[in-house]
Structure formats: structure tokens, C-alpha cells
Amino acid sequence: MTIEDKELEKIKQKIVSDIMTANPNSNGVVKILKGSEIQEFVTENKFAIIDFYATWCPPCKIMDPITRDLAGTYEGKVAFAKINTDQEREAAMKFQIRYVPTFYLFKDGENVGHFSGAKKKKDFMEIIDKNFFKKE
């Protein structure tokens, strides 16, 4: 195997690795989920955030443009979704949602944290970076 062949093999392995770890829903869009779609969403995305919200909730309305903006900021890295707690009561009960908005963070399909209430964009980014991208 020549040096060029070895370099091509490394490039090929890197491309395959990138494809295998990509977040299919991390396209800068906040996906609307049904409760039955949660498990699939969090397992098919390495990093995922789900916003449990209600349409009547003022802090939820404050967070909506921030969440959409962060979906763009973290495009290709973090997948964002929303679940309407009034329409998906079973999911809200399963995740013990007592306040809206409540954001759940998932890494490799596992819940790594959650928080409730409105946050400034920079504070939300710090939470994302700490839970998903901190140096070990």
C-alpha cells in the first residue's frame, strides 16, 4: 500500500465516521414531535434537545425564537424538537413536566439533563456546550 493509498483510506474512514455520527435532524430546524416519536428522535441524533412547551405560555413564546436561532447556530451538531404538552399529555407525564417550557438534553440517546423556564441565549448556549461539548 502506497502513502497515497494510506491517505485515501484515512480520508475514506473519516468520511464514513462523519456520516455515521451525523445528526439527521440537525438541519437548523426545530422539529415538531409527537410523544411516540421521542425515542426515535433521541436515538438517531447524537445530541438532541426537546422543548416541552404550551401555546398559552409566555416564557415558551419568549424561548421560541431563541430555540430556533440556536437550531441554526448548532446546525449539523445538535437536533432540536418541540412537544406540545397540551396535545401530548402522556409524554408530559412520562417526563414529569411540571413547568413549561422544560428542555431535556439527550446525548447518545440518554438524558443528560434538563431545565425549566426562559433563559438568555448565551446561558442556553453554555448549557449546551457544558452537556454536549465539554472537554473530558
Catalytic residue among 30, 42, 48, 60: 60
Told to judge if 108 belongs to the known catalytic residues of this protein, a careful annotator would answer no
Catalytic residue among 22, 29, 54, 57: 57
Distance CA 40, CA 116 (A): 23
Told to judge if 60 belongs to the known catalytic residues of this protein, a careful annotator would answer yes
Distance CA 36, CA 111 (A): 17
Among residues 24, 52, 26, the alpha carbon closest in space to that of 38 is found at 52
For the chain, where are the E strands, in sequence order? 30-32, 47-53, 79-84, 102-107, 110-116
Catalytic residue set: 57, 60
